[in-house]
Amino acid sequence: NAGVTQTPKFQVLKTGQSMTLQCAQDMNHNSMYWYRQDPGMGLRLIYYSASEGTTDKGEVPNGYNVSRLNKREFSLRLESAAPSQTSVYFCASSPLAGLGNEQFFGPGTRLTVL
């Protein structure tokens, strides 16, 4: 039981390049989330998917797109990377959306945009 897995672990991009961060969970959870973590800022929600087939914007969605490919997988795409998107990205999942449902986090992807 791997929990939440993320690929890649590290990535360096040049400004303007695109990439997709992959996330998968094997806990049969309905809800999935993408966060970014920056020094001094805490975790900020980028997008979330309350259930398969739905996605919604979080606090900082600009410059990102997401795809809930199936119940297990939730990807985050940067179409034209900018230095401001240098961050650590965490995917999380929970049995259901809403409070009282613990979110389980992946190990993170460390992204640097030059």
Partner 1 sequence: QKEVEQDPGPLSVPEGAIVSLNCTYSNSAFQYFMWYRQYSRKGPELLMYTYSSGNKEDGRFTAQVDKSSKYISLFIRDSQPSDSATYLCAMSAGTDSWGKFQFGAGTQVVVTP
Give yes or no for a contact between 48 and 76, defined as CB atoms under 8 angstroms apart: no
- Is residue 53 within the footprint of partner 1 (CB under 8 A)? no
Tell me the C-alpha distance between 63 and 65, whole Å.
7
Strand order in the sheet with 74-78: 4-7, 19-25, 74-78, 64-68
Q: Compute the distance between CA of residue 62 and CA of residue 30 in angstroms, rounded to an integer.
A: 24
H or E segment to which residue 22 belongs? strand 19-25
Could you give the string, one character per residue 55-74, with x where binding to partner 1 holds by CB under 8 A and - elsewhere?
A: -x-xx---------------
Binding-residue pattern over the window 8 to 47 for partner 1, x denoting contact by CB under 8 A: -----------------------x-x-----xxxxxxx--
Q: Which of 90, 111, 113, 114 forms a contact with partner 1 (CB under 8 A)?
A: 90
Which residue's CB is nearer to partner 1, number 26 or number 79? 26
Per-residue x/- mask for partner 1, residues 94 to 113, rule CB under 8 A? x--xxxxxxxxxxxx-----
User: Tokens 């795409």 sit at which residue?
Assistant: 77
Judged by the rule CB under 8 A, the positions of this chain that interact with partner 1 are 4, 31, 33, 39-45, 48, 50, 56, 58-59, 90, 92, 94, 97-108
